[in-house]
Amino acid sequence: MSARENILARIGKARGPAAAVDVDLAIRRRQRGPIPALDKDIVKLFGERAVKLASDVTRAGTITEVPGLVASYLRERDLPMKGVCWPVMALLDWQDTDTDIEIESRAARGDDLVGITGAFLGIAETGTLMLLSGVQTPATVSLLPETHIAVVEAGRIVATMEQAWDRLRVERGALPRAVNFISGPSRTADIEQTVTLGAHGPYRVLIIIVG
């Protein structure tokens, strides 16, 4: 017998025949667990919680303001005025921002220092960005560069992860290859339990809330 058959046989034997449940039904029901009470103003809450987890947060009136905000964020911190963005964001007016910002649209490489992405949703409960991988939204852009800048529409901020799953099911049907929830810069506390920002991923995350 194969390992698979042996393992399944042992489990089945331990349970006995009577107790089996209808797994399909249990999964289809998608019962939600208890949810913590949250502030009604979820855009405000999202911003507050994101800041608590060491993200920088700023607001933009419209999407056209994004290139200018990116440029001033990088300039203020003396960061390179050069980066990579999701192909889906290539249409933004990066050149015409009376700045010297140079943005290429592609997947990130090991030496890219700034990565600009959108976000599928924001989740207010924890101040978390939800990014989906895809042809136009390569996962490396939010990961390899030292600075990650993410743009999220105010109207696409939901209260909880449960709501995010519902939106994903409605809008996309199936899960993409990778759903990445991001809550601030990468960090480690492995040395003497001391939190240090910038482990293997970004050292800083700027979230631009549009609208």
Partner 1 sequence: MQVTAMHFKRKAGENLRNEKLQKALEKLQTKFVDGRAVAIAELPNFEEIRDAATDIRDKVIRNLDRYLLRFEQEATARGAVVHWAETADEVNRIVAEIAHQHGLHKVVKSKSMVSEECGLNDALESQGLDVLETDLGEYILQLAHEPPSHIVAPVVHKSKEDIADLFEEKHQRPRTTQIAELCREAREMLRPGFLSADLGISGANFIIAETGSVLIVTNEGNGRLATTLPRVHVAITGIEKVVPTLEDVTTLLRLLPRSATGQSITNYVSVLTGTKEKGELDGPQHFHIILLDNGRSKLLGTELQPMLRCIRCGACMNHCPVYQNIGGHAYGWVYPGPMGSVLTPSFVGLEKALDLPNASTFCGACAVVCPVKIPLPDLLRQLRTRQVEQQLRPRQERAALRLWSWMAQRPAVYALGTRLAARLLRAFSGSTKRFRYLPGVTGWTSGRDMPAPAGRTFRDMYRSRRSS
> What's the closest the beta carbon of residue 35 comes to partner 1, in angstroms?
8
> What's the closest the beta carbon of residue 120 comes to partner 1, in angstroms?
12
Q: Which long-range contacts (CB under 8 A, 24 or more apart) does 89-92 make?
A: 89/116, 89/117, 89/118, 89/151, 92/63, 92/64, 92/66, 92/67
Total residues binding partner 1 (CB under 8 A): 71
Contact status: 36 vs partner 1 (CB under 8 A): yes
Considering the complex, state which of residue 65 and residue 104 has its C-beta at the smaller distance from partner 1.
Answer: 104
Considering the complex, state which of residue 69 and residue 115 has its C-beta at the smaller distance from partner 1.
Answer: 115
Contact status: 79 vs partner 1 (CB under 8 A): no
Among 120, 185, 208, 209, binds partner 1 (CB under 8 A): 185
CB count within 10 Å of CB 71 equals 18
Among 47, 115, 138, 145, binds partner 1 (CB under 8 A): 138
Site for partner 1 in 97-136 (CB under 8 A): 106-107, 110, 126, 128, 133-135
Stretch in the footprint of partner 1 (CB under 8 A) among 10-18, 59-67, 93-101, 113-121: 10-18
Among 18, 27, 91, 170, binds partner 1 (CB under 8 A): 27
Q: Which long-range contacts (CB under 8 A, 24 or more apart) does 171-180 make?
A: 172/132, 176/132, 176/133, 176/134, 177/133, 177/134, 178/132, 178/133, 178/139, 179/130, 179/131, 179/132, 179/133, 180/130, 180/131, 180/132, 180/133, 180/139, 180/142
Residue type present at position 93:
D
Stretch in the footprint of partner 1 (CB under 8 A) among 56-64, 71-79, 151-159, 185-193: 185-193
Residues 6 or more apart from 148 whose CB is under 8 A from it? 115, 117, 141, 142, 182, 185, 201, 202, 204, 205, 206
> What's the closest the beta carbon of residue 206 comes to partner 1, in angstroms?
16
Considering the complex, state which of residue 49 and residue 74 has its C-beta at the smaller distance from partner 1.
Answer: 49
Among 41, 77, 90, 188, binds partner 1 (CB under 8 A): 188
